[in-house]
């Protein structure tokens, strides 16, 4: 009997049997060059794509290793068309290279016919200054990013070996002890990811993305890269709280002084050798169609490194300005490269390829992130709401299901069930969250909450004087709450896989007592929300997490008031 774990099909999909004894091993290997698409109970579906293969090539995974893995583990013969596509995609990475040259950048092809083909398109030919030889052409330096975008849309990922401006030098040492006297050292995977990115200053390194789960210390990886590069650094992150957390980490774990680290936000605009700002600040403009007022920050100093925190959230205007600063080293940090707008190719060509990736479950086994138990809690829709739900369009059905009023009592029951824990309740809809405030007595943080009040509530939660905190989608990312060990997702953004991963990440910092984290996703049973829940869960399923299905009734508590200590 053939008991191999994979069924590989000519439409580039790979089916994996969940109960196969080698499932975990095969899942981790597949994740290096394929993306999970569907994750029902028994068979998971992966898809191999150009981007997934190019990232494998950028990581240095040999093409022969990919094809050998597929061939040796497939239950049936691997379709020859798929192996041919993998081979063709793999060899397209580096078929075109950008090199530094006198009077501009040189676009060099291994095959003259390839250069002929791409130069026959106006989007590329308009960027060329002159043809040097059958296999090379000169590109203006200012078009470095634009030509990479144009070529990846034609199916040719450019290997950028043109090097980088050094930036203004800045020695950045890492402390052996933090400010409170605790020993500090890089974990092996943090040091390795920084080394792979930096590549000892060679042109092969200096741009790309490091993928690590939330709680694994991506900020520390950023500090390690800053230490290796040794230059003025611009850090872009998601919100004001994240700006302050980056600044605190820099001062706590490096030898930089407060005078060397500036914040560029609505509260302060201090441009220092290391400056931290937000995507919202950079994309602010008074009216649509006007200039972005703060883009000048990119040219205000001799930045040698730009760090993009939560790079999967990069807004389109920042993509555009990033295309113009390709001569600066660029580090993207994220827990998942999934973008719901499909712009993974923009991240690949403008920030750089994936340089380092570590499976979540590997770090869990090593104790660097907490183990997590994921539960989808199915909540029935009240009978009286059924007619309205059935008569609504698809979008309205999702909203009605998401704001199911029975979720309020389920949240209260879960909080009571975890009365000894630190509980985050995260939701999408403000009306629902305000109702939860009334039901639970817990405070709420939204996008309108002043930064000072946010910090006060986060600090109270960290101290344990506030056991329950409600947050809107501002809580999806860049919140450092190390003691949070329960997250209750009451509503979300349709089928957003990256949002699901980010929300689980809020509770993955390892706990001093070794307790597991609990992640609850409340879903209205037999509705559109249940359909979207499966899509949301795919990325985490790929990482090895399984969702237990439970009925809301199983958490029902005796009728009593829910008390939340005030901050």
Q: What is the pTM of this model?
A: 0.85
Residue 560 has a pLDDT of 53
Residue 438 has a pLDDT of 94
Quick: pLDDT tens for 388-446.
999 999 999 999 999 999 999 999 999 999 999 999 999 999 999 999 999 999 999 99
**In the chain, % of residues over pLDDT 70:** 96
Per-residue pLDDT at 559 exceeds 70: no
Residue 220 has a pLDDT of 97
Beta-sheet strands, E only, within 274-418: 274-278, 305-308, 329-334, 354-357, 372-379
Phi, psi of 356 (to 5 degrees): -155, 140
Residue 285 has a pLDDT of 84
Contact criterion met (CB below 8 Å) for 199 and 206: yes
Question: Given this chain, do its domains 96-161 and 188-358 carry the same CATH topology?
Answer: no
Per-residue pLDDT at 194 exceeds 90: yes
Pairing of strands 13-17, 6-8: antiparallel
**Average confidence (pLDDT) over 358-366:** 85
Question: 491 Cβ partners below 8 Å, 6+ apart?
Answer: 402, 403, 407, 427, 428, 429, 432, 522
Contact criterion met (CB below 8 Å) for 419 and 464: no
**Average confidence (pLDDT) over 472-483:** 72
Q: Which residue has the higher pLDDT, 379 or 103?
A: 379
Residue 387 has a pLDDT of 95
Most confident among 30-34, 341-345, 422-426 (mean pLDDT): 422-426
Residue 480: pLDDT band (50, 70, 90) is low
Residue 499 has a pLDDT of 83
- Residue 483 is given by DSSP the state T
Quick: pLDDT tens for 272-287.
999 999 999 998 888 8
Q: For residues 330-368, b (16+ Cβ closer than 10 Å) or e, as one string? A: bbbbbbbbbbeeeebbbbbbbbbbbbbebbbbebbeeeb
User: Half-sphere exposure of residue 517, counting CA atoms within 13 Å on the CB side?
Assistant: 30
Lowest mean pLDDT among 35-39, 300-304, 429-433: 35-39
Is the Cα torsion angle 513, 515, 517, 522 positive or negative in sign?
negative
Of 535, 509, 533, nearest to 213 (Cα)?
A: 509
- Residue 196 is given by DSSP the state H
**Average confidence (pLDDT) over 520-543:** 88
In the block, tokens 């090895």 appear at 544
Quick: pLDDT tens for 313-330.
888 889 889 988 999 999
Per-residue pLDDT at 565 exceeds 60: no
Residue 343 has a pLDDT of 77
Of 440, 473, 441, 443, nearest to 455 (Cα)?
A: 443
Question: 245 Cβ partners below 8 Å, 6+ apart?
Answer: 219, 478, 480
Q: For residues 519-533, b (16+ Cβ closer than 10 Å) or e, as one string? A: bbbbbbbebbbebbb
Quick: pLDDT tens for 42-92.
788 889 999 999 989 988 899 999 999 999 999 999 999 999 999 999 999
**CA 468 to the chain's CA centroid:** 26
Per-residue pLDDT at 104 exceeds 60: yes
CA distances from 164 to 60, 144, 201, 231, 296 (A): 22, 12, 10, 12, 20
Please state the domain extents for the chain.
6-92, 96-161, 188-358, 367-555
Instruction: Specify which residues 210 forms β-bridges with.
Output: 333, 356
Per-residue pLDDT at 37 exceeds 70: yes
Of 476, 506, 493, nearest to 535 (Cα)?
A: 493
Lowest mean pLDDT among 224-228, 234-238, 337-341, 560-564: 560-564
CB atoms within 10 A of CB 289: 6
CA distances from 53 to 33, 34, 81, 151, 159 (A): 5, 7, 15, 17, 14
Q: How far apart are alpha carbons 436 and 441 in whole angstroms?
A: 8
Topology given in CATH for the domain delimited by 188-358: Rossmann fold (3.40.50)
Alpha helices of 441-523 — where are they, by DSSP H? 451-463, 497-505
Per-residue pLDDT at 289 exceeds 90: no
**In the chain, % of residues over pLDDT 90:** 63
Mean pLDDT of the chain: 90
Q: How far apart are alpha carbons 440 and 416 in whole angstroms?
A: 10
**Average confidence (pLDDT) over 370-396:** 94
CATH 3.40.50.300 fits 367-555, yes or no: yes
Per-residue pLDDT at 562 exceeds 60: no
CATH 3.40.50.300 fits 96-161, yes or no: no
């Amino acid at each position: 009997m053939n008991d191999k774990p994979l069924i590989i099909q000519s439409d580039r999909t790979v089916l994996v049997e969940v109960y196969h004894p080698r499932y975990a091993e095969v899942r981790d290997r597949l994740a290096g060059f394929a993306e999970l698409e569907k994750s029902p109970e028994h068979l998971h579906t992966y898809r191999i794509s150009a981007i997934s293969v190019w990232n494998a090539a950028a990581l240095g995974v040999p093409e022969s290793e990919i094809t050998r893995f597929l061939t040796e583990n497939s239950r049936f013969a691997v379709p020859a068309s798929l192996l041919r596509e993998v081979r063709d995609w793999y060899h397209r990475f580096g078929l075109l290279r950008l090199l530094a040259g006198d009077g501009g950048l040189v676009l060099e092809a291994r095959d003259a016919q390839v250069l002929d083909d791409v130069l026959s398109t106006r989007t590329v030919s308009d960027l060329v200054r002159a043809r040097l030889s059958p296999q090379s052409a000169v590109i203006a330096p200012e078009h470095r990013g634009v030509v990479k975008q144009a070529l990846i849309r034609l199916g040719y990922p450019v290997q950028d070996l043109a090097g980088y401006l050094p930036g203004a030098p800045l020695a950045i040492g890492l402390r052996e002890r933090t400010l409170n006297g605790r020993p500090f050292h890089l974990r092996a995977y943090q040091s390795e990811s920084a080394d792979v990115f930096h590549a000892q200053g060679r042109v092969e390194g200096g741009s790309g993305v490091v993928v690590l789960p939330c709680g694994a210390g991506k900020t520390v990886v950023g500090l390690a890269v800053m230490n290796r590069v040794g230059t003025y650094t611009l850090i872009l992150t998601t919100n004001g709280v994240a700006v302050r957390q980056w600044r605190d980490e820099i001062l706590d774990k490096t030898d930089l002084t407060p005078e060397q680290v500036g914040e560029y936000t609505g509260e302060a605009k201090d441009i220092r050798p290391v400056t931290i700002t937000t995507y919202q600040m950079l994309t602010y403009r008074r009216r649509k169609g006007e200039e972005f007022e703060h883009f000048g920050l990119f040219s205000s100093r001799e930045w040698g490194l730009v760090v993009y925190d939560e790079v999967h959230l990069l807004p389109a205007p920042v993509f555009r300005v990033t295309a113009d600063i390709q001569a600066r080293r660029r580090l993207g940090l994220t827990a998942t490269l999934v973008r719901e707008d499909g712009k993974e190719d923009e991240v690949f060509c403008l920030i750089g390829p994936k340089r380092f990736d570590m499976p979540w479950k590997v770090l869990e086994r090593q104790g660097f992130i907490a183990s997590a138990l994921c539960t989808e809690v199915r909540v029935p829709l009240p009978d009286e709401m059924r007619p309205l739900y059935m008569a609504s369009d698809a979008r309205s059905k999702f909203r009605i299901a998401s704001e199911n009023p029975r979720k309020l009592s389920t949240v209260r029951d879960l909080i009571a069930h975890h009365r000894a824990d630190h509980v985050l309740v995260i939701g999408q809809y403000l009306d629902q969250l305000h109702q939860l405030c009334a039901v639970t007595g817990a405070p709420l943080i939204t996008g309108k909450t002043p930064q000072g009040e946010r910090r006060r509530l986060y600090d109270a939660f960290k101290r344990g004087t506030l056991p329950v905190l409600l947050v809107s989608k501002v809580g999806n990312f860049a919140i450092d709450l190390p003691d949070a060990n329960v997250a209750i997702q009451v509503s979300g953004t349709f089928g957003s896989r990256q949002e699901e991963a980010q929300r689980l990440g809020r509770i993955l910092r390892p706990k001093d007592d070794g307790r597991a984290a609990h992640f609850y996703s409340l879903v209205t049973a037999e509705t559109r929300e249940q359909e979207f829940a499966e899509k949301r869960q795919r990325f985490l399923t790929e990482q090895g997490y399984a969702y237990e299905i439970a009925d809301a009734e199983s958490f029902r508590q005796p009728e009593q008031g829910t008390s939340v200590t005030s901050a």
